[in-house]
A and B are shown apart, each in its own frame.
Chain A
Amino acid sequence: MIKPTIQPYKRPCAISEYPVGPSFKAGHLVSGNSNYRTSRPVISDAACIGCLFCYAACPDGAIFRNEKKVRVDYDFCKGCGICARECKVGAIAMVKEE
C-alpha cells in the first residue's frame, strides 16, 4: 500500500548529504500529528455499520479500513471531530485526552 510513513531521519552533516534540487523522496515523514488534539475519536465496533463514510471524510486519512470496519491511526489523528459528527449511527465518540 502506498502511504507516506515516518522514516528514521538523520540530519545532514555535510553539504554533500543535502538533497539537490530541492528534490526529495516522496512520502518521507519525520513526525506525526497527535500533538494537535485535545480529544480523540473512539469507534464502537458494535455500533459501526461499515459504511466507511468516516474513512472518506477524514481530511488527514487517519481513519483506515480494517476488514469490514475502521480503525483510527492515533499517530496522525488531529482530533478535529469530523468523523464523530458525520457518523450517522453515532458509533464514534470524542473522548477528552488525559
Chain B
Amino acid sequence: MQQRLFLSGNEAIALGVKLSRPHVIAAYPITPQTVAVERLAEMMQSGDLDAEYLHVESEHSALSAMMGASAVGARTFTATSSQGLIYMAECLHYASGGRFPIVMMNANRALALPWSIYGDQRDSLSLLDCGWIQVYAEDAQESLDLVIQAYRIAEDKRVLTPVMINLDGFVLTHTYEPVLVPDQVEVDSFLPSYDNPYAMNLDNPKNVGFSSTPQDTMEFKYQQHAAMLDAKDIIREVDAAFGTCLGRRYGGLVSNYWTEDADCILITLGSIAGTVRTVVDELRDHGFRAGLCRIRYMRPFPEDEIAELARPGRAIGVLEKDISFGFEGTVFTNVNSALMKAGMQVPVLNFIAGLGGRSISRGDIREAFTDLEKARTGESVRNVRFVNLGVAT
C-alpha cells in the first residue's frame, strides 16, 4: 500500500534512496542539496536506514569514496550541486570509465561567477560528455521513482554506467507536493540486489582502474559508448516495468504532451515543463495547436524520439536554462544534430531562460510559442534569444 506524503524534492530523493537499500552514502553539503543528505542522516540515526554514512571533506572525496565502495560491490549514493559537481568533474569521468553503477542526485544550480545559489541547468548540461546517464526530473514524485529506477538501470550488466538524477534547485528541491511512497516490499521485488562480477573480491582478486595504451584505449571507450546506447532500451524496459509493478510510467526517454498533431512544439527539461503544459492547454483552448516534449534523459540522447517530432510545416523550440557561451544552448545543439542526422528540416528556435534563478512566466512561454508560429509561417525570427532579459541588449 503506497503511503501519501507531502514531500519536497529533496525529501522525495532521500526516501527513494532509503527504499533502494544503499550500502554506503557519502555526504558533503551544498545548497540546495543539503536537505537530502540531512534527511538521510536522520534516517540513519533513527535506524530507518541501515547504511554506512561517510562525512567526507569534499565532493571530490565523496565520489572517490563511492567509487571505492562500488568497486568492492557495495550499492552507493551521493548528492551534490553546481560548484560541487564541477569540483568532482575528474571523478565523474573516472566513475563512468570505471563502469561503477553509482547513483547521484544533482540539484541544478547556477555556477559561479558571479556566485548564485539559485537554480539553472548549466552545471549538469556543461558535463554531458562525462559519460554519466543524465535524467531530469519534473516533480517530487518522479524524483523518488527515478532513484529506484536509476539503480536498476545503472546496475544492469548491459549498462554498468553511473546515473545522475537532476532536480531544479529550489524550484523542485524545496517545493512541496503530495507524493505516493511505495512500500519496501514493492521496491524489493522491483529492485534486485547489486551483484557485479567485475567487483574486487577476496576470493577472486581483481586489478581495477588500470591504465591502457593507444593499442586498447579506443576499444574501451567504444565499449563504454555502446553500453550507453544500449541503455536506451533498458531505460524503456525499466520505465514499463515500473509502471506494471509500482503503478507509474513516464514515457521512456521523453515525455510528450499533445505533440501528435501540434504545429509548434516546445522542448524542455525539468520542472518548467509543468508551466509549459499549462500554457499548452491554454493555447489549445484558443485553437492553437501547441505541444510539449519534455526530455527526461539527456544522455543517452533520445535521437529517435526527437527526430520523430519533426514534420513538414512544424516549428520546434528548445527552452533551456543554460548557454554555451559564444554559441547557443547545449540542448539546442543536441536537438539540431538529431534532426539534421534524420534529414529533418524544420525551423528550430532556442530560448535561453531562467539563468541564475530568473523566473519563467506563462507570458514568457506564450511569447516563445508566438515566435515559433512566426518561424513556422516563414517570418524571420532570431534563432537564439535570451528570455525575459530585464534590459535592452
B340 part of interface (Cβ distance < 8 Å): no
Interface pair B222/A15, CB less than 8 Å apart: yes
Residues of A within 8 A of B216 (CB): 12, 18
B205 part of interface (Cβ distance < 8 Å): yes
Write out, one digit per residue, whether chain A residues 27-56 have a CB within 8 A of any chain B CB (1) or not (0).
110000000000000000000000000000
Residues of A within 8 A of B97 (CB): 22
A-B contact count (CB 8 A): 50
Residues of A within 8 A of B222 (CB): 15
Task: Kindly identify which residue among B200, B205, B219 contacts A27, using a CB–CB cutoff of 8 Å.
Answer: B205
Interface pair B207/A18, CB less than 8 Å apart: no
Interface pair A21/B208, CB less than 8 Å apart: yes
Q: Identify which of residues 190-230 in chain B touch chain A, using a CB-to-CB cut-off of 8 Å.
A: 198-200, 205-210, 212, 216, 219-220, 222-223, 226
Write out, one digit per residue, whether chain A residues 10-29 have a CB within 8 A of any chain B CB (1) or not (0).
00100100111111111110
Interface pair A20/B223, CB less than 8 Å apart: yes
Within the assembled complex, what's the spacing in Å between the Cα atoms of A20 and B219?
A: 11
Chain A residue at minimum C-beta to C-beta distance from B97: A22
B98 part of interface (Cβ distance < 8 Å): yes
Residues of A within 8 A of B205 (CB): 25-27
Interface pair B209/A12, CB less than 8 Å apart: no
Task: Kindly identify which residue among B98, B207, B209 contacts A25, using a CB–CB cutoff of 8 Å.
Answer: B207
Interface pair A26/B198, CB less than 8 Å apart: no
Chain A residue at minimum C-beta to C-beta distance from B208: A23
Within the assembled complex, what's the spacing in Å between the Cα atoms of A27 and B223?
A: 24
Shortest A54–chain B CB gap in Å is 28
Interface size on A, residues (CB 8 A): 13
Q: How large is the interface on B (under 10, 10 to 19, 20 to 34, 35 or more residues)?
A: 20 to 34
Within the assembled complex, what's the spacing in Å between the Cα atoms of A35 and B226?
A: 39
Residues of A within 8 A of B160 (CB): 20
Residues of B within 8 A of A12 (CB): 216, 219
Q: A15-B226, A27-B205 are in contact. Are A22 and B219 (CB under 8 A)?
A: no
Residues of B within 8 A of A24 (CB): 206-208, 210
Interface pair A18/B220, CB less than 8 Å apart: yes
Chain A residue at minimum C-beta to C-beta distance from B215: A11
Chain A residue at minimum C-beta to C-beta distance from B222: A15
B152 part of interface (Cβ distance < 8 Å): no
Interface pair B219/A23, CB less than 8 Å apart: no
Residues of A within 8 A of B207 (CB): 23-28
Interface pair A23/B198, CB less than 8 Å apart: yes
Shortest B179–chain A CB gap in Å is 36
Shortest B158–chain A CB gap in Å is 10
B99 part of interface (Cβ distance < 8 Å): yes
Residues of B within 8 A of A26 (CB): 205-207
Shortest A98–chain B CB gap in Å is 31
Interface pair A22/B210, CB less than 8 Å apart: yes
Interface pair B206/A15, CB less than 8 Å apart: no
Within the assembled complex, what's the spacing in Å between the Cα atoms of A22 and B226?
A: 15
Q: Identify which of residues 69-125 in chain B touch chain A, using a CB-to-CB cut-off of 8 Å.
A: 97-99
Within the assembled complex, what's the spacing in Å between the Cα atoms of A18 and B220?
A: 7
Interface pair B198/A20, CB less than 8 Å apart: yes
Shortest B56–chain A CB gap in Å is 24
Shortest B344–chain A CB gap in Å is 31
- What are 16 A-to-B residue pairs whose CB atoms are below 8 Å? A15-B223, A18-B216, A18-B220, A20-B160, A20-B223, A21-B99, A22-B97, A22-B99, A22-B212, A22-B220, A23-B198, A23-B206, A23-B207, A23-B209, A24-B207, A27-B205
Q: Which chain A residues have a beta carbon within 8 Å of chain B's beta carbons?
A: 12, 15, 18-28
Q: A18-B223, A21-B98 are in contact. List 14 more A-B contacts (CB 8 A).
A: A15-B222, A18-B219, A18-B220, A19-B198, A20-B160, A21-B209, A22-B98, A22-B209, A22-B210, A22-B220, A23-B200, A23-B206, A24-B206, A24-B210
Q: Which chain B residues have a beta carbon within 8 Å of chain A's beta carbons?
A: 97-99, 160, 198-200, 205-210, 212, 216, 219-220, 222-223, 226
